[in-house]
Structure 1
């Protein structure tokens, strides 16, 4: 028999844990976490614990992309079920301030 497969509910819970860990990754320029900034587009997890995080940055060519990616790897490694992480930068749809949470908007004084 193979390894136990997760239920849809368990996967959803693990994805929530991954998102919670990503809230510890702070954009160095804006001082707000990448989840509340709306930079995380998708979190996928397969049965082997391989996690794909699709995200964008506030600007193309952001000089801090490597720093943020490294922090993501460190944060997600705290989630027990995740065995490997692949961070994929995507540019579509383009990020806008509309993707920010209410918390991020208030913190940055954006209406």
Structure 2
């Protein structure tokens, strides 16, 4: 998904008689899959686009969301339970969701 860029690699081989230098270029991902797969929680990699009149030099980046755990915990304590609108458990504790959907489907035909 991320674009590729031209990378230059250089290797040097030295033996008793001579030294050789090899320079090569190849197209590589600007963000390698290994970097994405090793991200920890709160980290992300993204690419942004620019406008014709507002060019962005650095379009690909990775960043980390820094969370205040104490504030998040305090906020979660104020959460209210979502009310149950429809119950699909019968008096024996059996799940009747599938049967209810099937009977309503056939009733509509």
Same fold (TM over 0.5): no
Q: Tell me the TM-score normalised to structure 2 length.
A: 0.21
Q: Tell me the TM-score normalised to structure 1 length.
A: 0.21
Q: Whose strand proportion is higher, 1 or 2?
A: 2
The structure whose RCO (Cα within 8 Å, separation 6+) is larger is 1
- Report the structure number with the largest CA radius of gyration: 2
